[in-house]
Amino acid sequence: MLKKILFPIAILSLIITACTQAPDDKGTLVIESSTDHYTIQEVYARRVGDPYYSVVWSSSNSGIVWTHANINLDPGQYHIYVKMCYYDTIYTYPSTGISTVCINEGQTKFLYVRNLSLYQ
């Protein structure tokens, strides 16, 4: 039963990712929520060695469903965390973990938010 639900979601994600092509000098980071109960509100990134995080994606600037975010980033290694919203309530929760990802030029990297933690 679970495979019947997850397979169409995986195919849809691949189609969306294939249609979203990063500029030549960038890589793409795709972040997906594992459930509709938690929506992505903001994605923060900090390049390894930089002192501060910055917002690289916000639901207020996006016209897509907020259960996933596509972000084009310069190649490099980043620390990522995500602010989530539970059932569209005002209070938001940051993910419990910070994930480190390596973005390569022309490649797509996936991060999944499950139980308010980030997984690759």
Q: What is the pTM of this model?
A: 0.73
More confident residue, 6 or 67: 67
Assign 110 a pLDDT band (cuts: 50, 70, 90). Answer: very high
What is the SS3 assignment for 42-74? EEEEEECCCCCCEEEEEHHHCCCCCCEEEEEEC
How many angstroms separate the CA atoms of 7 and 13, rounded? 10
Place of tokens 């997906």: 32
Select 2-119's CATH number: 2.60.40, 2.70.50, 2.60.120, 2.40.30: 2.60.40
Extents of the domains making up the chain: 2-119
| Cα pseudo-dihedral 8, 20, 71, 57, rounded to 10 | -80
Query: pLDDT tens-digit profile of 54-88?
Result: 999 988 776 666 788 999 999 999 999 988 887 76
